[in-house]
Amino acid sequence: MWIAFAFASALFAGLTSILAKLGIKETDSTVATALRTVVVLAVSWLMVLSLGSAQAITQVSAHTLLFLTLSGLATGGSWLCYFRALQLGPVNKVVPIDKSSTALTIILALVFLGEGFSWTKMLAVLFILGGTSAMIQRREGESASSRSWVIWAALSAIFASLTAILGKVGISGIDSTLGTAIRTVVVLVMAWVVVLLTGKAPLIKKTPHKELLFITLSGLATGGSWLCYYRALHDGPASVVVPIDKLSILATIAFSYLVFGEKLTRRSALGLLFIVVGTLSLLVV
């Protein structure tokens, strides 16, 4: 069953990026992240209440709470960097970098969770990294200064890999939906603290209504992805759940073409194929 939840997570995650991109044309990415988190928080706690898991919060150990908090901070960092990258760069190039966190997650899962490593996994990592490199090739006439989104996307990938590992530790012995909801509180606090510290609070009132709608829908998609993802992570190995979740790149690339007209070059298409092959190979390890 956890495999079904992992694929559902990928579908929702694919929609998240497209809806978010539509919501940050004029809206500051940090403000948009904070607004989205409010929606995700509501979805997470509604699920906790509907399943009757809220009463278990008093039984959460200090150890679990610590790792959920750390995972939430990593998620907040990943979101802030990811949506900044989306605002500055094309979806079909930002997303591959973010999804390359799969490779780092595999290594961290080996080191910290004791999950096995094989030659097949090593080849998968090489396929994913090679495919990512091919997809983010510099376009003719594109200056180095205009590619600052690469740095933001890379930081997003690093934080995302830490999120998976810390989340796996944090949700052991606790209901996955409750763990997700607790983490969301941390992300919410972090996002709004950043908005306040950077003096961007006045920009909230300037958010166009149409973009606010897309930000809200993106938050709903994220909420659905989170709930499915951490349910899958609770029951299955991180080294398999994470790769399945990363297949959301296929949905994102397809929608980026349909919605934004972003086309892949032959090299980028080959890179995407490499990423998918490398990701799918992890499912049969």
pLDDT of residue 176: 77
Q: Which range (72-86, 227-241, 271-285) has the least confidence?
A: 227-241
Mean pLDDT across the chain, nearest whole number? 86
List, for residues 203-233, the tens digit of each pLDDT value. Answer: 999 999 999 999 999 999 987 887 788 778 7
Q: What is the pLDDT of residue 38?
A: 95
C-alpha dihedral over 210, 211, 212, 214, to 10 degrees?
100
| Domain boundaries of the chain, sorted by first residue | 2-284
Instruction: State residue 5's pLDDT score.
Output: 85
pLDDT tens digits, one per residue of 55-77 = 888 888 888 889 889 999 999 99
Q: What are the respective helix, strand and coil percentages of the chain, to the nearest 5?
A: 85, 0, 15
Q: Which one-letter amino acid corresponds to residue 95?
A: V
Percent residues over pLDDT 90 in the chain: 39
Q: What is the pLDDT of residue 105?
A: 85
Q: Is the pLDDT of residue 141 over 60?
A: no
